[in-house]
């Protein structure tokens, strides 16, 4: 999921300016984690803990615990529920950055069958088949 974000809120601009200054001038590297990114996303979308709890099926106390400094981090299932409810990826909540993933290419039925058969071969047969495949690919190029 790719989400382009344009954030014009004053607190966000101020924080990003301060972070950049600390990083460049003082050599500090500040990286926000799940807790901070979740807080920021809730603020950005103007969503209350109660509403997120309803959307995810998690309790208000559980979500509030994720937001406190000494609180626990969610397990994977809870993180996925939270991310889906907010319309962001889990990776965004963890790193603060969206990553564009290349779509998986669908395997043809023939390629799937080749893969399945190849998995059943022993080491010697695998090397023979691989050698044959390389020779065939060279012949096609010429």
CATH number for 69: 1.10.260.40
Residue 132's contacts (CB-CB under 8 Å, 6 or more residues apart) are: none
pLDDT at 63: 94
The whole domain housing 88 covers 10-95
Name the domain count of the chain: 2
Within this chain, do residues 126 and 83 fall inside the same structural domain, yes or no? no
pLDDT band at 38 (very low <50, low <70, confident <90, very high): very high
- pTM to 2 decimal places: 0.53
Within this chain, do residues 131 and 69 fall inside the same structural domain, yes or no? no
pLDDT mean over 53-65: 94
Backbone angles phi, psi at 58, to 5 degrees: -90, 155
Residue with tokens 């023979």: 128
pLDDT: is 37 or 5 the higher one? 37
pLDDT mean over 15-22: 54
Cα distance between residue 130 and residue 123, in whole Å = 11
Within this chain, do residues 21 and 91 fall inside the same structural domain, yes or no? yes
pLDDT band at 80 (very low <50, low <70, confident <90, very high): very high
pLDDT band at 3 (very low <50, low <70, confident <90, very high): very low
Residue 45's contacts (CB-CB under 8 Å, 6 or more residues apart) are: 86
Within this chain, do residues 14 and 77 fall inside the same structural domain, yes or no? yes
Long-range contacts of residues 82-85, Cβ cutoff 8 Å, at least 24 apart: 82/38, 82/52, 82/56, 82/58, 84/56, 85/52, 85/55, 85/56
pLDDT mean over 46-65: 94
Mean per-residue pLDDT over the chain, rounded: 76
Within this chain, do residues 136 and 70 fall inside the same structural domain, yes or no? no
Radius of gyration of the chain (CA): 24
pLDDT at 48: 94
Within this chain, do residues 20 and 44 fall inside the same structural domain, yes or no? yes
Q: 76 lies in a domain?
A: yes
Q: 63 lies in a domain?
A: yes
pLDDT at 69: 76
pLDDT mean over 43-57: 93
């Amino acid at each position: 999921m790719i989400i382009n974000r344009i954030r014009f809120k004053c607190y966000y601009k101020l924080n990003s300016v301060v972070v950049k200054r600390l990083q460049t001038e003082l050599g500090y590297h500040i990286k926000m984690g799940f807790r901070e990114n979740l807080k920021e996303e809730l603020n950005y979308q103007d969503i209350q803990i109660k509403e997120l709890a309803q959307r995810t099926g998690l309790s208000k106390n559980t979500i509030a615990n994720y937001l406190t400094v000494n609180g626990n981090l969610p397990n994977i299932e809870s993180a996925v529920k939270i991310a889906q409810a907010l319309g962001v990826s889990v990776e965004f909540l963890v790193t603060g950055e969206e990553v564009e993933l290349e779509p998986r290419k669908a395997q043809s039925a023939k390629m799937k069958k080749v893969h399945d058969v190849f998995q059943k071969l022993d080491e010697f047969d695998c090397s023979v088949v691989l050698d044959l495949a390389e020779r065939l690919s060279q012949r096609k190029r010429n």
